[in-house]
Amino acid sequence: MNHTFLGVGYTRDHAGLPLEAVGVTVPGPEADQVLIRVAASSLNPLEYKLAELNFLGRTPPVALGFDLAGVVAGVGRGVTDLAAGDEVVAMTDLNGDGGWSATDGGSYALARRFLTARKPPSLGFRDGAVLPMCFLSAFAGLYGRVRPGDVVHIPGGGGGVGHLAVQMAARTLEAGTVVSSGGTPESIELARRSGAQHVFDYRRDDVAAEIATLTGGRGADLVFDATYNEDGFAATAATVRRGGDWVVLGVGPGRTSRVAETHSPVGEILAERGARHVNVNLLRYFSEPGLLDDEARAFLRRGMELAMEWADRGLVMPHVGRTIDSGVEAINAGLRTLKAGGGVRGKIAVIVDRDLTRGDARTA
């Protein structure tokens, strides 16, 4: 049977904020899909950017809310290891419909099996729901690249991706030294709590000089920049060692506006160092389906499984800076805060179904 509900999204091309209530009809799960009754979700910058630019070319109305935690309501052909009633964490396709709800009636969403993981009992729905997109972004940037003993520089260690990346590098990937930065005492403290041994205030410290001092002039082996800031890109590129890796989340330097390309000095800075420029962009898997091959699916599935395993072991834990109820007004206010920048440490969680999240120990 099809499930219908009022979601939250955009009803006009390039409408931007504010989002509106949109009617959603969720069909039954097809092969390798999981139908999820949504308990909680979170906010990501991608959602307001899609509303502003609709760069996937979707035909509105489009329902948003890609991060999901909830209960399996049904499975499609080929899904044999999950069943109705199982508690899961998932990410919907980024060119599909999300699970935010405009009313108290709750919502449903479809996720593919490789983007769905069984939720451990130790992890509440709320905390599970803030992990998928940010965890997979950090995972794609660091996993298989950080070598034991590396000096890793992760600017913005108090951000949604940053605080998870710091924990991942410091606690699971055996980095020797993790260096981070922040612009407020709260974000600096979160980066430090997440495992960074050195956290600088980028507003007043010369971070490149500090890293040079820490490394005897060598620089960081790997820089993972998820800040989406053109000025910051040039500054962090100057901290990578000769032959090192500069990994950036998103479309990268010179293209962050998506509507106009500007000159960036990053290419010259990295070339002078013989450093590699690596782009990490989850969206490309959905905008360019040819990239989502068996290897990519296995990698993303591994990421979702490790997100649950590492959270269960207390190694990579999400920090929820704010919890809001699902609804048009609350989601618009939260997305405006994200767009303005610097207003939230960690993540903003969205409670979609209070009946399901009532048992969460950390959702008070």
Task: Give residue-wise pLDDT tens across range 231-269.
Answer: 889 999 999 999 999 999 988 887 766 666 788 999 999
Q: What is d(CA 263, CA 267) in angstroms, rounded to the nearest whole number?
A: 10
265 vs 362, which has greater pLDDT? 265
Cα atoms in the 13 Å half-sphere on the side-chain side of 361:
3
Q: Kindly compute the dihedral angle of the four CA atoms of residues 272, 275, 276, 277, in this order, to the nearest 10 degrees.
A: -60
Q: What is the mean pLDDT of the chain?
A: 95
The alpha carbon dihedral of 157, 158, 161, 163 has a sign of: positive
The alpha carbon dihedral of 92, 93, 94, 95 has a sign of: negative
pLDDT of residue 362: 47
Sorted by sequence, the CB contacts under 8 Å of residue 331 that are 6+ apart come out as 8, 19, 43, 100, 324, 350
pLDDT tens digits for range 25-44: 999 999 999 999 999 999 99
Owner of token pair 């049977």: 1
pLDDT of residue 106: 87
Mean pLDDT confidence for 224-232:
90
Q: Is the pTM of this model over 0.85?
A: yes
pLDDT tens digits for range 45-78: 999 999 999 989 999 999 999 999 999 999 999 9
Q: Which residues of 55-76 are buried (b: 16+ CB within 10 A; e: fewer)?
A: eeeeebbbbbbbbbbbbbbbbb
pLDDT of residue 255: 72
All structural domains of the chain, each given as residue ranges with its CATH number in brackets, are: 3-131+292-357 (3.90.180.10), 135-282 (3.40.50.720)
Classify residue 176 by burial, with Cβ atoms within 10 Å: 0-12, 13-18, 19+.
Answer: middle
The residue count of the chain comes to 364
- The rounded percent of the chain whose pLDDT value lies above 70 is 98
Write the Ramachandran bin of 162: left for phi over 0, alpha for psi from -120 to 50, otherwise beta: alpha
* Alpha carbon 41 to chain centroid, angstroms: 12
